[in-house]
Each structure stands twice: as C-alpha cells, then as structure tokens.
Amino acid sequence: MNLMFRERIQMYQKVPYQNIQYGELYHEAEVLAGVDHFIQEVCLGSYNLYHQNLMIDLQKLIPSFKPIYNADFSYCNSVLIFIEVVKTVDYTLRQIQQTDYDSIVYFDEMTVWHILTYIQSLSGCVKQQLIDYQQRELKNQLSLFDYTSTLIHHYARTLVVRVDLSIKKEYQALYNIHGFNQALEALHRRIADQDTCFRGLHGYAWALEHGVSKGYHCHLLLMYDGNIHQQGFKMGQWVGECWEQITHGCGYIFNCNHPDYMDTYEAMGTLGIDMIHRHDENKLNNFLNYVVPYLVNAEKEQQHPRVKDKSNMRSFGKGVFDSKKRRGL
C-alpha cells in the first residue's frame, strides 16, 4: 500500500454537521440526521445551560419523527435513545392531560433534567456508534483498495465510470430506507445479469450514504472492459437511464464522467476515471488515491447509516475478482 493511501485512511476525525433546522425536516433521512445531531449535541453538553432550548428543539423534532418511525426497522444508538425520550414525553403529556406537543415547553424543571441526564448517561453508546462506523469504513476502504488495485493492474485498459444515484428532491419524501433499498437491490440484480449498460463489466463497488439535504444516495464505481467500451460519459448516462427506470422517474444521477468535471479533475491533477491504461502510473495513482477512497470515507460530513429496513441490510458492496479471466494485451 502506498504512503498517500495510508495517510488518507488514517485521517479520521469528527466533522461537524452542516446547519440543520429542526423545524424544516421533511424526509426520513433528513429527520433521522436531525435526531442524530440533537442527541449528539445533548451528549456534548450544548444544552446544559439552556434547558428551554432543549424543549423547544424537542417540540420541533418529535412531530417530524413520529410519522417516519417504523417499529420494524433497525436504528442506530442515537435514534434508539431518542425513541425512549419520545416515550417519556408522551407519558408526561398524558399525566398533565395534554396532547399537543407545543405543551412540551411547559414541562417542569425535574422532567427536563430527567430527559437531559438520561441522554447524557448514554453518551458512551453514541460515541461507540461513531467509532464502530469509522472502523467499518476503514475495513471497507482497505478491502476496496485491494480489490480495485488488483483489477486495474490486471487488465490492459479499463474504463472507469463513477456515478452518484439519488432521488430527486421533490420525491425524497416518498422514499424511506425500504423503498431506496429495494431500488438498490433491483440495480444489483441488473449488475449481476451484466446486460444492457452493465455488459463488459470487469468489476464494481457501491456505497450507501444517508445525507441531510441529499437524502439516501449511492456512490457507484464501475470498471468496464476498455476493449468493449471507450466512452465513460455515455456509459454513465446509460446507467442513469437504468436508475430512472428502476425508480419510475424519481431517480437522479450525477455523472462524474461529464466532460466539464473531467476537465476540473485534470486541472486539479486528480483525474482518475474514464479510460485508464495499466502502465499510466499518474492516472492509476489518482484512481487508487482519490477515486477509490471517496466511496467509503468516514471523513465525509455525518453521512453514516442511521436506519436499516432489515438487520442484514448492507451499506457497502463490491464484486468478486475472477483471476481466471484473461489479461488484456
């Protein structure tokens, strides 16, 4: 493993959230990010001197959280803690014969203190979930580096295509984690069949992330036989058409192989996609040091998974290298 790659995977550090407005959360991924952020802020002591702000934020978050909550889903530790807080709030409202969450701001000091100290008593669980995520990402990054490095050095010419698959903003509320995961599973079946836009595919990798404004999205890396396909932008657009078909027109694609983006990467000296020849050391290094690590990178701003629609749901995957395939000349 080269030095630059080793340095990149060691640069794990907590990155602050982008600004989240608790009163303006609309889709599942956004709400869960808000809940996660709230619990982390409580654990950090941000509300210790501002108990009224704690209840105001709860007043905004709970009405957004309840409609998207699903008892059949598996949630991360911070969301599980929040679920218990919601139970406490609901119980307290029943005790004072109130049903409106606006009444939260009138809870007595003892109740507020109980909620605050309960969350902070579990700060170790919240910290551990972030550590576990970073360790998984590190393991995935090492595994992906080995896989892609083997592939890119095995074939004479490889067409590398990078696309990001998401849901158009106006439809994000229609796609909870179950809906998005079903779309991904349909995509995986298309990749496994290697027909249409996936014909001539040597290898692939994907990573699911939970963004705030972007919602659920998938980073997809495709490595094609360079003797069969030569146009990265065209292949990326073709994959995008496949994604739109799977999502019934709700899908959105960001094609990294667009000529404008390629020019930008070239100017920055980081171009590592499109056609790569096995002996092009500069492009090979860019591919392994910039393109590959981006797929599974814990440095990205709080995009870790917070929910699964089933316990064995994956958020990362890659193909299997077949050493029996003949090398290109």
**70 & 160 share domain:** no
Cα separations (Å) of 66 from 31, 111, 215, 264? 10, 21, 18, 43
Identify the band that residue 321 occupies on the pLDDT scale cut at 50, 70 and 90: confident
Residue 5 domain flag:
no
Same domain, 143 and 76: no
324 is a domain residue:
no
CB 319, CB 160: distance < 8 Å: no
Q: Is the pLDDT of residue 14 over 80?
A: no
- The predicted pLDDT at position 102 comes to 92
What digits encode the pLDDT tens for the residues 267-306?
999 999 999 999 999 999 999 999 999 998 866 657 888 9
Q: Both 199 and 50 in a single domain?
A: no
Whether 52 and 143 map to the same domain: the answer is no
In a domain, 11, yes or no: no
| Domain end position, chosen among 126, 154, 185 | 126
Domain-embedded: residue 94: yes
In a domain, 54, yes or no: yes
Q: What is the DSSP letter of 69?
A: -
Per-residue pLDDT reduced to its tens digit, 135-175: 999 999 999 999 999 999 999 999 999 999 999 999 999 99
If asked whether residues 153 and 188 sit together in one domain, one would say yes
> Is the confidence at residue 198, as pLDDT, over 50?
yes
pLDDT confidence bin for 212, thresholds 50/70/90: confident
Domain boundary pick from 81, 96, 126: 126
Residues 266 and 225 in one domain: yes
Q: Are residues 169 and 291 in the same domain?
A: yes
Per-residue pLDDT tens digits for 53-112: 999 999 999 999 999 999 999 999 999 999 999 999 999 999 999 989 999 988 999 999
Query: What pLDDT band is residue 324 in, cutting at 50, 70 and 90?
Result: low
Among candidates 34, 118, 32, which has minimal Cα distance to 73? 32
> 326 pLDDT band (50/70/90 cuts)?
low
- What does the pLDDT read at residue 18? 55
Task: Write out the residue range of the structural domain in which residue 66 sits.
Answer: 22-126
How many structural domains are present in the chain?
Answer: 2
Q: Tell which residue, 191, 187, 181, has the closest CA to residue 311.
A: 181
Within this chain, do residues 157 and 306 fall inside the same structural domain, yes or no? yes
Q: Does residue 276 share a domain with residue 137?
A: yes
User: Do both 112 and 146 map to the same domain?
Assistant: no
Residue 224 predicted with pLDDT over 70 = yes
Q: Domain boundary residue among 103, 126, 149?
A: 126
40 with 99, same domain: the answer is yes
Percent over 70 (pLDDT), the chain? 91
Give the three-class secondary structure for 213. Answer: coil
Q: Same domain for 212 and 291?
A: yes
Q: Rounded to two decimals, what is the model's pTM?
A: 0.89
Would residue 17 count as lying in a domain? no
Task: Say if 327 falls within a structural domain.
Answer: no
